[in-house]
């Protein structure tokens, strides 16, 4: 069984990005160490012309094609469904591996982490839900989730994250901590326990809500600053959803 399932989400007629992402994996990762799963949302002809021969040759282990845009989270659920490796390494198509140190570096960091640390990547924070979601009530979304475990969600209202006088300001703690969605590594067991992605999500805010879902379980996120990878190198593509 490979150590990691590498999942790459491609979109539309951006064949150059898809080719670069897949080529970087093939060039820099030992084939015995990974299985490669590709999701092709709103797949264009040039993109399919790039991906189908790689599937036929065995370079891609599983290719999921949708002629329409399912959006990120529904496609992600399909991609994760058959994963059996210990770890999942996620890439948006505008993120890619730049050298051979990437896979061993990320896996070593994960394997040396305590079991309570379940996800690794470039960490970030948002101070207000309007920066990551169009939902009117992000706190209500968390409280209604199957993965909610009773911890007060982030909010600047008193009581947010259990704080009533955060930094002496008389507020709650409204900071949402997460890993940037373009590239991250996670324990497959965490994905299964959370049944992630949340079925209510399409795209916007999925990375931030995943960070909160992890916090709700009492788990932690580990930082792996862009070691051996380039992340989010192209403008947003596809419908906002």
Q: Give this prediction's pTM.
A: 0.94
How many CA atoms, within 13 angstroms, populate the side-chain half-sphere of residue 172?
18
CB 186 within 8 A of CB 118: yes
What is the Cα–Cα distance from 237 to 91, expressed in whole angstroms?
Answer: 15
Going from N- to C-terminal start, the domains of the chain cover 4-127+174-230
**pLDDT tens, residue order, the chain (241 aa):** 899 999 999 998 889 999 999 999 999 999 999 999 999 999 999 999 999 999 999 999 999 999 999 999 999 999 999 898 999 999 999 999 999 999 999 999 999 999 999 999 999 999 999 999 999 999 999 999 999 999 999 999 999 999 999 999 999 999 999 999 999 999 999 999 999 999 999 988 999 999 999 999 999 999 887 779 999 888 765 554 3
4-127+174-230: CATH class: alpha beta
DSSP 36-60: EEEEEET--HHHHHHHHHHHHHTSS
Cβ-based burial of 13 (10 A; exposed 0-12, middle 13-18, buried ≥19) = middle
Q: Which of 48, 61, 51 is nearest to 7 (CA)?
A: 61
């Amino acid at each position: 069984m490979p150590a990691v399932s590498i999942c790459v989400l491609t979109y539309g007629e951006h064949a150059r990005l898809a080719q670069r992402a897949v080529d970087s994996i093939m060039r820099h990762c030992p084939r015995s160490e990974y299985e490669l799963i590709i999701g092709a949302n709103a797949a264009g002809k040039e993109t399919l012309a790039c991906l189908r021969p790689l599937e036929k040759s065995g370079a891609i282990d599983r290719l999921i094609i949708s002629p329409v845009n399912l959006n990120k989270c529904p496609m992600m659920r399909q991609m994760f469904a058959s994963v059996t490796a210990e770890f999942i390494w996620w890439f948006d198509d505008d993120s890619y591996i730049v050298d051979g140190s990437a896979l061993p570096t990320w896996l070593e960091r994960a394997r040396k982490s305590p079991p309570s640390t379940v996800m690794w990547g470039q960490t970030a924070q948002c101070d207000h839900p309007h920066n990551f979601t169009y939902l009117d009530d992000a706190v209500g979304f968390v409280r209604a989730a199957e993965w909610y475990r009773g911890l007060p969600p982030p909010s600047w209202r008193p009581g947010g994250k259990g704080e009533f006088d955060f930094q002496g300001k008389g507020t709650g703690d409204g900071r949402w901590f997460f890993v940037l969605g373009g590239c991250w590594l996670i324990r497959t067991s965490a994905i299964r326990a959370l049944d992630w992605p949340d079925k209510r999500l399409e795209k916007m805010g999925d990375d931030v809500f995943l960070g909160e879902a992890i916090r709700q379980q009492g788990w932690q996120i580990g930082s792996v600053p862009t070691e051996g990878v380039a992340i989010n190198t192209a403008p947003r593509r596809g419908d906002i959803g």
